[in-house]
Structure 1
Amino acid sequence: MKILVYGAGVLGSYLAHVLVQGGNDVTVLARGSRAEELSEHGLVIRHYFQRKTTVDKVKIIQALPADDSYDLIFVVMKYNNFPSVLPILAKNKSSHIVFVGNNPTASTTEQELLENSLPDKKAAFGFQLSGGRREKGRMISVRGGGQMVLGSLNGPFPFKDLIDKAFADAKYKIDYHEDIDAWLKSHIVFILVLSSVSYVQDNQFKQIAKDKKLLLQMIAAVDEGFKVMEAIGYTITPASQVDYFRRKRQLVYFFLKIYHRLPVAKMIDSSFVEIALLHKAFDVWKQQAHIATPNWNELEEAFLAKMEGKANERR
């Protein structure tokens, strides 16, 4: 199959690798130094758990012409970058688009894409369950078995046959979710708390692991986030996580303590700007919920203060 991976960061690079290994004709859209790096050295990935390095040759483009056609386009980027690519995708004649990444406003993304596109354009949303970091021109990849949660906002998945074909020969699991919007919304609750604390603490993960008060505050903040979602009628999925954060807090506490001591904690790919915009989206829900969120608010305020301090340092 002819597939475009739009975005060559950590997650886009790993997805491109999987699709190449699955026998697909893969093109990667990258820009600047990353495009030069891929053209010169290929797609280099160091697989952290497997302790091996792979190099894949992929086609590189730096722009998407309107008349280029692909069976599938995977848009793999941070939440703050989605709006800038929607007009480009709308003009392109490819019909099947999958947005991969954090997205608490998936319905808005889909609406803005479709209202400016040809009638046969179809969109889906997913989240790749892996992480990593860039290091000296290569991708250091951490993967949880190679998996993507994938779904449609409106009824049955519209191009499941194409997805199944693309991954048929790949060592990668596709988990179709019947309510991907709820899954994405639920996911950002934990991501916001985890990422906010990491940034405020300058990624000193071992120090976070030792701070019992902070870990308990993180658990309380996640619970408050779930209460916000419940108050405005959003479904939390998987539902089991609510039980853990409310009734099995000691177990969650030990999980967070261990997690922050492991190297994997360093491989969550996010940015100040993305987390700030996710907070902004969540603030809308908080205003609608009208419930107290003291722990959440304290962590958010600390994150925003840290972000402002970093911005001032760069001036």
Structure 2
Amino acid sequence: MNILIYGAGTIGCTYGWQLAEAGHDVSILVREGKKQSIEENGINIHCTDYRGGQKRIENIVFRPKVIEVLSSENNYEYIIVSVGCDNLKSVLPILSESAGKAHILFFQNMWNDFDEIAKYLSSDQYFFGFPFMVGGGRGEKGLNAIISDSKYSKTILGEANGDTTPRIQKIAKAMGTADLKPFISNQIITWLVPHFAFIAGFSAGVIKAGGTMKAFTANSEIIKEAIRSVREGFLVCSKSGINPKMEKVNKLYYLPLWISVPVVKKIFGNEAMCLMFDGYLKHSKNEIKKMLEDILEDGKMYNVEMPYLKRLQKSVMDSTK
């Protein structure tokens, strides 16, 4: 398939590289002024790959096709939008004018963005997903990518209405050929919105613990604070009509803390999970700030008390002073 990656960060480039390795025609949309450099030098990816139960380290130069401007006359079958949620609003007008006939996969953290997307695009133009297989961040010499083999790690895909459409099946097949473990959800919105609350609460907890997952998993009190903040976010989800308990994975955060804290330590003490979170947090504090602001703003609208989330928000703000 002919696929455009919109967002040349670690997630987009790693998925693009893996799809290209599987035989797909992959292009990357980059910021103005970056095209020549990438065409000449490629994109350096230092990848730690845990798939298959073995840790493999690769240093590769990914050489996709590169564009700086998206034309409405493009012939892409899919556009995978992998930008920070704090950049979504700047992307939507461009997609509205120039996506053409491509199917748009929004591949990022999502909270209350669905009405905003609907202002620019018709519902038959887009669907949703989450790149839960890949993490990492940008390093001095390129991108540091982690590909997880955790049983919790999948590439989540789904239509907003829950249908399993041909376009979902086709992109899932492509992800499967690239060994990116596609999982088609019939309740993708119910998956995405609570996941946003989880990422916001846990990221803030890691930052408060010192900025690394290792420090976070060693601190039971901060884990408790993060879990309680996630519960506050889940309550906001419930007030908005989305029930987090409909997703099995979220039930962990409703358990008594004496049960949930050790489980969190075990799951997130995994080496790949630690590296994925640590890489993300190095360059995503602005996105995390926005995520916390969004949850707190909606919580205020629904009269939800959020003392733990506010406390963690202060830690994030203090860390950037």
**Shorter-chain TM-score range:** 0.7 to 0.9
Question: What SS does the aligned partner of 2:148 have?
Answer: strand
Q: Give 2:280's aligned amino acid.
A: I
The 2-side partners of 1:256 and 1:147 are apart by 18
1:143 to 119, 143, 147: 147
Structure 2 counterpart of 1:114:
121
Matches within 5 A, 1:153-302: 153-158=160-165, 159-167=167-175, 169-236=177-244, 239-257=247-265, 259=268, 262=271, 263-264=274-275, 265-268=277-280, 271-302=284-315
Question: Structure 1 length normalisation: TM-score?
Answer: 0.85
Q: Deviations over 1:154-201 (max 9, x none)?
A: 341442243145335322222111121121111011111122233345
Structure 2 counterpart of 1:313:
none
Q: Give 1:212's aligned amino acid.
A: S
For the structure 1 residues 138 and 306, does the alpha-carbon distance in structure 2 shift closer, same or farther, using more than 3 Å as the test? Answer: closer
Question: What SS does the aligned partner of 2:101 have?
Answer: coil
Preserved CA contact (<8 Å) 1:106 1:181:
no
- Report which stretch shifted further, 195-204 or 172-181: 195-204
Report the identity percentage: 24
The 2-side partners of 1:94 and 1:295 are apart by 45
Residue 45 of structure 2 is aligned to residue 45 of structure 1: yes
Preserved CA contact (<8 Å) 1:183 1:237:
no
Question: What SS does the aligned partner of 1:167 have?
Answer: helix
For the structure 1 residues 292 and 106, does the alpha-carbon distance in structure 2 shift closer, same or farther, using more than 3 Å as the test? Answer: closer
Structure 1 counterpart of 2:92:
86
Residue 139 of structure 2 is aligned to residue 132 of structure 1: no
The 2-side partners of 1:51 and 1:297 are apart by 39
Q: Give 1:108's aligned amino acid.
A: D
Shift of 1:261: 8.6
Shift of 1:133: 1.8
Q: Give 2:229's aligned amino acid.
A: A
The 2-side partners of 1:175 and 1:297 are apart by 34
Q: Give 1:266's aligned amino acid.
A: D
The 1-side partners of 2:208 and 2:72 are apart by 42
For the structure 1 residues 257 and 33, does the alpha-carbon distance in structure 2 shift closer, same or farther, using more than 3 Å as the test? Answer: farther
The 1-side partners of 2:125 and 2:296 are apart by 30
1:74 to 75, 80, 84: 80
Q: Name stretches of at least 5 consecutive residues in structure 1 with no aligned partner.
A: 310-315
The 2-side partners of 1:219 and 1:306 are apart by 20
1:123 to 114, 123, 126: 126
Tell me how large the CA RMSD over aligned residues is. 2.6
Q: Give 2:227's aligned amino acid.
A: I
The 2-side partners of 1:260 and 1:84 are apart by 36
Question: Structure 2 length normalisation: TM-score?
Answer: 0.84
Residue 27 of structure 2 is aligned to residue 14 of structure 1: no
Shift of 1:230: 2.4
The 2-side partners of 1:202 and 1:32 are apart by 35
The 2-side partners of 1:261 and 1:2 are apart by 35
Q: Give 2:11's aligned amino acid.
A: L
Shift of 1:244: 1.9
How many equivalent residue pairs?
304
The 2-side partners of 1:255 and 1:7 are apart by 34
Preserved CA contact (<8 Å) 2:162 2:188:
no
For the structure 1 residues 39 and 200, does the alpha-carbon distance in structure 2 shift closer, same or farther, using more than 3 Å as the test? Answer: farther
